[in-house]
Chains A and B, each alone.
Chain A
Amino acid sequence: MTALKVAVWRGGESGHFQEFEVPRLASQTVLDVVTYIQRSLDPTLSYRFACRVGMCGSCAMTVNGKARWTCRTHVSRVAVDDRLELAPLANLPTVKDLVTDMSAFFDKWAAARGRFRGDTTRKDDFARVKPDSPRRKLVDEAIECIGCGVCYSSCDVVSWNPDYLGPAALNRAWTLCNDVRDVDRRARLEAVAGDAGCHACHTQMGCTERCPKQLSPTAAIAGLKRAALAAALKGEL
């Protein structure tokens, strides 16, 4: 049985990489490796996970320099010469070891008005939205975000402009802009437009490249740019 050489970030904003040797197993995921280290080699290692099946979005880390969801990333796909380097997500403050403070990430979802607001009550009938209607299709393309922060961590604009809302929050805003039941579209466009919003995006597509759910926040952001420009030209912004 071969061994993996794993360098793991230890500490907070300042710290160092600590080397571990982990037995190499078939079908081993990066999360399996981290769990082995924590349970068998060093119980003081801090990291986050919950579902282990790619649904909760809590186990994202920087693996060999790229942000990935670790529970669905097989070691065989990412290890170079049986070596792994594991670090916390970039663009977020490190709390300890592989755990980041994701407050800014989720605060920006709120700032982008990423919350549904309708104007019906429980006494009203259900809204009927045709699955093949154009706006519903746009929602389908963006709705499966699990909030893992991989896109946010992979975005250069976030690193250049800390006020930038980031791909996930803007992607969420785009799904709501296309929700025919939502009544907050105008305020949302105002919240996501301009220098700290969608118009700061350089269309480098790092978010789309790395999104583990194969979503395209870039396309969502492009949609927001067009919608906000149309609103600005009409004097609605």
Chain B
Amino acid sequence: MNIRTQVLLWGAQRVSAAVLALCVIVHLATIVYAVRNGLDAAEILGRTRGNPSWAAFYAVFVAAVTVHAPIGLRSILSETFGWRGRGLDVAMFAVALTLLTWGSRAVYAVFGA
């Protein structure tokens, strides 16, 4: 991986971290609201399905996780196990695709199904 890509990945991780900070706060606040008001699964889905704002919010959340997690995992694997090079980059790309797939499925199930 060339130097420019490495630097841009670092930048992407910082930007996605800022997005995640906001997303996690909203997500936790939503959980607290749902629990305190005693909402069950059906009531939660009743409010989220067909709501484009929640769909957009969680789509952004999933996108931020897809960018952030593999870049961090790449550093952890590299520093802990000495794994470097193209194999690591390909594996992390696969992790990103997996996260994107699972996250998109969850967004679709909660908001679009």
Chain A interface residues (CB < 8 Å from chain B): 157, 160-161, 190, 193-195, 199-200, 225, 228-229, 231-233, 235, 237
Interface residues in B3-58 (C-beta closer than 8 Å to A): 3-4, 6-8, 10-11
CB-based contact B79/A232 at 8 Å: no
By Cβ-Cβ distance, the 4 closest A-B pairs, closest first, are A194-B6, A160-B79, A232-B7, A199-B10
CB-based contact A193/B6 at 8 Å: yes
CB-based contact B4/A237 at 8 Å: yes
Which residue of B is nearest A157, CB measured? B79
Q: For this complex, into which size category does the number of interface residues on chain B fall?
A: 10 to 19
Contacts of A200 in B (CB 8 A): 75
A189 CB, nearest partner CB in chain B, Å: 9
CB-based contact A195/B78 at 8 Å: yes
B82 CB, nearest partner CB in chain A, Å: 8
Q: Given the known A-B contacts A225-B10, A229-B10, A229-B11, are A193 and B79 also in contact in the complex, defined by CB atoms under 8 Å?
A: no
B2 CB, nearest partner CB in chain A, Å: 8
**16 more A-B residue pairs beyond the given contacts A195-B84, A237-B3, with a C-beta to C-beta distance below 8 A:** A160-B80, A161-B78, A193-B3, A194-B3, A194-B6, A194-B7, A199-B6, A200-B75, A225-B10, A228-B7, A229-B8, A229-B10, A229-B11, A232-B7, A233-B8, A233-B11
Which residue of A is nearest B75, CB measured? A200
A204 CB, nearest partner CB in chain B, Å: 12
Contacts of A229 in B (CB 8 A): 7-8, 10-11
A145 CB, nearest partner CB in chain B, Å: 24
Name the residue among B3, B4, B80 with the largest chain A CB count within 10 angstroms. B3
Contacts of B10 in A (CB 8 A): 199, 225, 229
Chain A to chain B contacts (Cβ below 8 Å), 29 pairs: A157-B79, A160-B79, A160-B80, A161-B78, A161-B79, A190-B3, A193-B3, A193-B6, A193-B7, A194-B3, A194-B6, A194-B7, A195-B6, A195-B84, A199-B6, A199-B7, A200-B75, A225-B10, A228-B7, A229-B7, A229-B11, A232-B7, A232-B8, A232-B11, A233-B11, A235-B4, A237-B3, A237-B4, A237-B7
Contacts of B4 in A (CB 8 A): 232, 235, 237
Chain B interface residues (CB < 8 Å from chain A): 1, 3-4, 6-8, 10-11, 75, 78-80, 84
In the bound complex, CA of A237 to CA of B1 (Å) = 13
A132 CB, nearest partner CB in chain B, Å: 31
In the bound complex, CA of A16 to CA of B9 (Å) = 44
In the bound complex, CA of A161 to CA of B76 (Å) = 11
In the bound complex, CA of A118 to CA of B84 (Å) = 36
B13 CB, nearest partner CB in chain A, Å: 9
Which residue of A is nearest B10, CB measured? A199
In the bound complex, CA of A24 to CA of B45 (Å) = 75
Contacts of A233 in B (CB 8 A): 8, 11
Which residue of B is nearest A236, CB measured? B4
A230 CB, nearest partner CB in chain B, Å: 9
In the bound complex, CA of A161 to CA of B8 (Å) = 20
Name the residue among A231, A232, A235 with the largest chain B CB count within 10 angstroms. A232
Contacts of A193 in B (CB 8 A): 3, 6-7
